[in-house]
Chains A and B, each alone.
Chain A
Amino acid sequence: MLTARHLTLSYGPTPALRGASLHLEAGESTALMGASGSGKSSLLHCLAGVLVPDTGDVHLDGVALSGLKDRDRSRLRLERIGVVFQHGDLVPELTVIENVALPLQLLGVKRAEARRRAQDLLAELGVADVADRRTSTVSGGQAQRAAVARAVVHEPAVVLADEPTGALDSLNAEAVMDALTTLVRRTGAALLVVTHDNLVASHLDRLVTLSDGAVVPTGQEAAR
C-alpha cells in the first residue's frame, strides 16, 4: 500500500528525518508516536507527498511519489490520500458542508452529488445540524469531526492524521477517534495517526515510535 524507505529530510542545517522507514497496509491503523521534534509531522508530510524527502522513496501502490511532478503528486494525493490536521484547518470562509464536499468537487463530482454525500457523512458523524454554518462558528469538536469527514468523503486509500485530537478535550477526542477509525475501517483504508496521546494510540492496531528522525525498530517493523 504505502511504503517509505530510508527517508532523510533537513530544514536547512537541521535534520528532521534520518533514514525513516515505514509501511502501511490497507485496513490497518497505525499510531506514530515520538517526542516533540522527533520528525513525526515531517514523516507524515513526506508520506502525503507534500514534502519531498532529500533522499529515500515513498511508494503508494508501487508509484514512487518523488518521481512525480508536483501537479501529479497533488492529483494522486487528492484521489488516494486523506489528511486531518490538529486544528482541522478547514477553509474558514466556507461552510462545513462546503468544506467536506470540497475534495469531491475538486475530483469533478457534481456539486449536488458532492453535497449529498457530504451531508450523509456529516449526519453519520452527528454534525449535520452545523452543515450550513461557517467553520469559524462551530466548536472545535464539531470542526474536527468535519475535518475527519473531509478526509474520508472521497474514500481514499490512505488517511493520514496529524494529532487530530491535540486541541480537543477527552470527550471530543474520543468521539473524533471513534469516527475516524470507524469510517476508515469501513472503507478499508490504511490509517496513520500522529499523536502524543497513549489513549488515542490505544484505538489503533499498532504503534510505531519515531526517535531523532528514525523509526525505532520493533519486532513488528523488523518483520516487515
Chain B
Amino acid sequence: MTSVLTLGLRLAWGTREQRLRSVAVAVASALGSGSLLLVWAIARDRLLGAGAFHSEAGFVVVGAVLMVALPVVAMVATVARLQTRGREERLANLRRLGLSAARTRLVAAVEVGVASATGVLLGIPLYLGLGWLTQRIDVTGQPWNPYLFTVPTYGWVGVLLGVLVVAVLVAAWPPTDQNDRSVESDRGRTDDVRRPGLWRLGPLLLGLAVCGWSVLHTFGDYVSDAQAYVILVGVALAGFGLLLAAPVLVRLVADVGVKVARGPVTTIATRRLQARPGSVLRVVATLMAVLVVLAGARGVIAAFQDLPQYEEAERSFSQEQVAEVSASAAEAAGIVATLNETPGVERVIALPMTLVTIEDQDRDDESILAAVATCAELKDAGARVPDCVEGRLLVGDSRPDLLTAKSGTVTALTEPQGPYLEPPDELPNREGPSAGLDLSDAVTVPADDLYDWGVEGGVHLVIPPDAAEIGEVVAATDRQLVVHGPPGRGLTTTLDQAGIWSYSAYDTADYDFGQSMLFLMWALAAVLFVLGLFTVTVALVDRAAARRQENASLRALGTSPGVLRRAQFLEAVVPVLLGTVSAVLVGWFGGNAYLSFGLVDPLPVPWLLLAGSVLGSFVVAGLTVFGIGSDSGPEDVRRG
C-alpha cells in the first residue's frame, strides 16, 4: 500500500508536465470549492436577509448553488483528465508491470487526490478573502449580515468533500479506449467514435415542452404551487438539458458537414467533431451556463420589477423618498416647521384634504376624497397631471357618477386618521364646515394621474384653492403633508426618530429581494465566467499539446499551417457557436416561461446577448488556433 501511495505522489510531482497538471488540479479545486462556498454565503445573506419570499428564498439558494456546482464539476473533471493520453499510457504500463486494476486506480486517485485536497484547503482562505471583499460592496444600502453570510456545516462538508471526490473519481475512472488500445499488443480495432445517445435530448425536450406549455397557456389570476413548481422544474430541465443534449446537436451538424464537405479543411474539422462532439462543449459548458443564467434570470428579475411596490421603491432609491404625515389644520404649521428642521427632509408640501359628496348623494353612504391644490402644488408633491388646468377642478375618469355630476358639497375633515388608503367608509368627522361645489366645469383627467402619486391611494378630485366659497372649509380641514427626502432609504425612520408618525408607500422588502436577486445573478455570472475562463484556458493548452504530434505529421506531409488553423477554427467555432447561441435562446425562453404565470410582458429577444455570443464564439475559436501549425519542436519529429 505504501508503495502505491508513494508511486501516486511521484506521478503527481515527477516531471515538469506532471507538476503543471497537479498545479492545475489544485487551482481548479481551490476555485471550485471557494466559489461554491462564496455563492452559497452570498445567496443566503442576500435572499434570506431580504425579508421577503422566505419560503421561495430557500429554493433560490439551492438553485444558485447547483448552478455553480455543475460548472465546478465540469471544470474539475476537465482538469483531472488533462494529458489523458500520456497519463493513461503511464497507468497502462503499471498494469503491464502487474499492478491490479484496483491498485492502478488507487495510484491515479492518489496522484490527483493529493493535488485536489491541497486545492480544496486553499479554497477556504479564498472564500474568506472573497467573502470579505464581497461584504464591502454596497447593494442599495442593504447591510450585510455576518450571521447569514455563512455556509451551514453540511454545506462545508458537501463542498469540500464533493470537489475532492469528483476529482478523484474522474481521475480513477476506468481507462478510456486509448488506454485499452495502449495495452493491446495489436493496435486497437475497436470503434472509438461513440455516437452520443439520443436519450441526452430527453431532458431538453421535456423542459422545452413544459416552457412551451407555460408560455402558451393562459393563466388566470391564480397559479397553484404545483403549476409554479412544474414550470420552474421545466426551466431548470431546459437549461441543464441543453448541456446534456449539445453533443448530440454537434454530432448532427458534423454528420451533415461530413456529407457536404469538399475540401480538406472541412473534412478534417467535421471528422474531428464527429469523433468527439462533446469535447469542446465540455470546455464551454460553464460559459453556456453563464449565458443561460444571464438570458433567463432577466425573466425572474423582470417579474419582481413589475411589482408596484418595487416600482415605488425604485423611485425612492433613484429619484426621491416620499412619506406622508397627517395633521389637523391647527397643528399643520407647527409640524411643517418641525419637518423642515428635520435632517434628511428636503421639502414639505401641505395639501388640504376634504370630502366631497355629489348632488343628492347621501354623504354617509359614499364620499369622495379630494385634495385642495394648485397645479404647481400637485407637481411639487410628486403628482404628474399633464392635463391640469389652473383654477379648474380636476376629476379622475374612473367614477361615472363624478363625470356626470353638476354639483356637490365639500366638507372639511377635522380629525386626521392617518393616511387615507381608500376613501374611508367611516368618515372621521363630518361635522366640519361645508360648502357647495360647482362640478359642471371640471376637467377630466386620467384617474391614474390623480391616484398613482406621492399621496398613497391618491384622490379622485382636486379642487383649486380659489374655488368659490371653500375658504372656510380649507381653513378648517386636515392637511396631508407630503414629505420629500433625498434618494435612498430611511426617511420614515428619520421621521419616527423626530417623533412624527409617518407612512411611506413603498415596501422595501420586495425591492430588496429583487435587488438581491439581481446582485446574485451578477455574482453568479462573474463566478461562472471565472470558472469558464480557467476551464477553457487549461483545456485549450492541453488540446494544443495533445494535437502537437498529429499536426506535426500533417505538416510533414506538406499541409500548410493555414489549413491546420482553419480546420482547428472550424472545429472549435461550430460547437461553441451552437452552444452559446442555443444557451441564450433557451435561457430567454425559460425566462419567458417564468414570466408567463406572472402576467408580465414577455422579454424581448436578447439581440445584444446573441450578438455578443456570436462574437465571443469567434474570439474563443480564434484563440484555439494559437500555436497551431507553428514549426514543430524536436520532440515532435525526432524518432530515431
- Chain A residues proximal to chain B, CB less than 8 Å: 11, 16, 34, 36-42, 44-45, 48, 50-51, 70-71, 74-79, 81-83, 85-86, 89, 91-95, 98, 102-103, 105-106, 110-111, 134, 136-140, 143, 150, 162-163, 167, 194
Contact = CB atoms under 8 A, between A and B. Distances in A.
Q: Which 3 A-B pairs have the closest CB atoms?
A: A78-B558, A41-B640, A89-B553
B274 interface: yes
B545 interface: no
A139 B268 CA distance: 22
Contact of A77 (B190, B264, B556): B556
Contacts of A75: 558, 560
B256 to A, nearest CB: 16
A50 B637 contact: yes
A91 to B, nearest CB: 7
Given A39-B640, A77-B556, 7 more contacts: A42-B634, A76-B558, A85-B639, A91-B271, A92-B550, A93-B193, A140-B187
15 contacts: A11-B638, A34-B640, A42-B640, A44-B640, A50-B556, A50-B637, A51-B632, A71-B562, A77-B557, A83-B553, A92-B550, A95-B271, A103-B558, A139-B186, A150-B557
Residue of B190, B192, B271, B276 contacting most chain A CB atoms (<10 Å): B271
Given A106-B563, A134-B193, A38 B268 contact: no
A83 B556 contact: yes
Contacts of B276: 93
A98 B228 CA distance: 53
Contacts of B188: 136-137
Interface string B540-581: 000000000110111111111111000000000000000000
A38 B638 CA distance: 11
Contact of B640 (A11, A138, A140, A163): A163
Interface of B: 181, 186-193, 261-264, 267-268, 271-272, 274-276, 549-550, 552-563, 631-632, 634, 637-640
B186 A48 contact: no
Contacts of B271: 91, 93-95, 98
Contacts of A76: 558
Contacts of B261: 111
A105 B267 contact: yes
A65 B268 CA distance: 28
B637 A51 contact: yes
B616 to A, nearest CB: 26
Chief secondary structure at chain A's binding surface: mixed
Nearest to A134: B193
Contacts of A150: 557
Contacts of A94: 267-268, 271
A74 B560 contact: yes
Contacts of B264: 102, 105-106
Contacts of A16: 634, 638
B191 A134 contact: yes
A93 B563 contact: no
A93 B268 contact: yes
A91 B560 contact: no
B274 to A, nearest CB: 7
Contact of A36 (B186, B275, B640): B640
Contact of B558 (A36, A39, A81, A138): A81
Contacts of B559: 74, 78, 102, 106
Contacts of A98: 267, 271
A71 B267 contact: no
Contacts of A102: 264, 267, 557, 559
A38 B640 contact: yes
A85 B553 contact: yes
Contacts of B186: 139-140
Given A93-B268, A134-B192, A143-B187, A50 B638 contact: no
A149 to B, nearest CB: 13
